[in-house]
């Protein structure tokens, strides 16, 4: 049936496109880490909690639609579209060529000037994608990443064993 096949092809093509687009956020080391985890059936879990040191606000990489920001030009385009990103200023580049930013809302004490209205990226930091992008947590961050077997996988295994 053409309709069904067309949809299936489109859906797998979309999946493939999404996968390839996702790769733009990976570093080479990150891809091997991802594959190594996949082979062992593991994933990354974030543990710990924020100590409020503010280190991540003073040195953070930002993502655009096509990957991590590497140029001032790409950053300025983001600011035009999302003026709330004006709070960030470029402070340098890492070895992979990714820009580092500092946030002007971060006080000398490491607190946020408007914590209730911080950006989603601030609320979600640190995401496990950091591991695959070749980034690392700031020194003394209260969070850490551990390799775990996903709960859904353990559950599936238990159910299969009981059958």
Count of residues binding ligand SF4 (CB under 6 A)?
Answer: 21
119 binds ligand SF4 (CB under 6 A): yes
52 part of the interface to ligand SF4, by CB under 6 A: yes
Establish how many alpha carbons lie within 13 A of residue 89's alpha carbon, considering only the half-sphere containing its beta carbon. 4
- Give, rounded to a whole angstrom, the gap between the first and last alpha carbons of the chain: 37
CA distance 56 to 83: 20
Shortest Cβ 66–ligand SF4 spacing (Å): 22
Q: Confirm or reject binding of residue 142 to ligand SF4 (CB under 6 A).
A: yes
Closest alpha carbon to 147 in 47, 45, 49: 45
Nearer to ligand SF4, 11 or 111 (CB): 111
Q: Which residue from 60, 61, 56, 57 is spatially nearest to 140, judged by alpha carbons?
A: 56
Applying CB under 6 A, which part among 29-37, 103-111, 127-135, 150-158 lies near ligand SF4? Answer: 103-111
Query: What Rg do the C-alpha atoms of the chain give, in angstroms?
Result: 19
Per CB under 6 A, does 103 bind ligand SF4?
yes
Q: Which residues bind ligand SF4 (CB under 6 A)?
A: 50-57, 87, 103, 105-106, 112, 118-119, 122, 125, 138, 141-143
């Amino acid at each position: 049936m053409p309709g069904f096949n067309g949809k299936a092809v489109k859906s797998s093509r979309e999946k493939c496109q999404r996968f390839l687009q996702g790769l733009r956020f990976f570093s080479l080391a990150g891809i091997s880490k991802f594959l190594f985890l996949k082979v062992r059936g593991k994933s990354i879990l974030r543990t710990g909690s924020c100590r409020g040191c503010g280190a991540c606000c003073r040195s953070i990489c930002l993502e655009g639609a096509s990957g991590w920001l590497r140029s001032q030009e790409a950053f300025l385009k983001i600011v035009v579209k999302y003026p709330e990103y004006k709070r960030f200023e470029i402070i340098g580049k890492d070895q992979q060529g990714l820009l580092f930013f500092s946030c002007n809302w971060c006080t000398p004490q490491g607190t946020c000037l408007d914590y209730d209205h911080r950006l989603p990226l601030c609320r979600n930091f640190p995401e496990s994608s950091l591991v695959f992008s070749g980034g690392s947590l700031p020194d003394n961050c209260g969070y850490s990443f551990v390799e775990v077997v996903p709960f859904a996988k353990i559950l599936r295994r238990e159910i299969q064993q009981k059958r």
